[in-house]
Amino acid sequence: MTSATGSPESYRSRSEIVFSAGFTMVELLVTISLIVFLMSMLAVTFGPMLKRADQANTTALISRVSLLIDGYHSVTGNFPSDGLEGRDVITSEGTFLTGGAALTFALTQPLILTEKQANGDIRVIGEEPAIGEFRSDELSRPSDGDAEARQILDGWAEPIHYDDVSNGDKSFNPQDLGETHLDWDDEIQVHSLDPREHPQNNNEYDLWSHGSSGHTEEEVIEDLIKNWQGGEE
């Protein structure tokens, strides 16, 4: 088809289309490159900020849980069992709990108050409401559908550790592997050695999070967030 001036209008239209399409593709590539650059800059800028926020949240969590444990001790006269000293912690569905999972159970279930009789029998003398409450994002999912089998999670959604060392060295239980965590698989998950060689809060309890590098191949002891001062004592 020829225009009124005799020029090949169809040819001109195709050239314009090719030029327009090519320009749009260049714009698209530039836009994608710009987005990738901005995302990398955001990661560099906000990554450390997010890490500090998770650290602050975990530090606050460790302090809050410590207060709850102290409250438990005030009511019962004992620290929550970690399920590792022959005092089994078992849910109503029969799940055995240890470490942080045993602590979570103790703090979130009603307190059954007992009294030891002269003949050695244990008598129930009352019941108190649960000591602690946690948001859903602070707890792991129920293990195998058992609503009572859950764990308190740190700022990185990793389970915290708890060791009842109220009997000193006798009750010290190194937690080198992930056996105290619910649904843990050492063949596919990473767990570092226990950062302690002996109790840090003798005759009380040790509570800690692995921190930002926890449960990774790059875990470092400096990331530890704990309820004792300084390094390993």
pLDDT in the model for residue 15 = 47
What is the pLDDT at residue 131? Answer: 95
What is the average per-residue pLDDT within 50-68?
Answer: 91
Domain ranges of the chain: 49-226
Q: What are the distances in angstroms from CA 138 to CA 38, 54, 202?
A: 32, 12, 27
pLDDT of residue 162: 97
Cβ–Cβ < 8 Å for 155, 61: yes
Is a pLDDT exceeding 90 seen at residue 123?
A: no
Q: 159 and 175 in contact (C-beta within 8 Å)?
A: no
Angle at 63 between CA 107 and CA 86, to 5 degrees: 40
Q: In this predicted model, which residue has the larger pLDDT, 52 or 65?
A: 65
Tell me, what's the pLDDT at 4?
52
**pLDDT range class, residue 233, cuts 50, 70, 90:** low
Q: Which residue has the tokens 């999912």?
A: 141
Q: Is the pTM of this model over 0.85?
A: no
Is the pLDDT score of 19 beyond 50?
no
Average confidence (pLDDT) over 175-190: 89
Is 33's pLDDT higher than 50? yes
Residue 51 confidence (pLDDT): 65
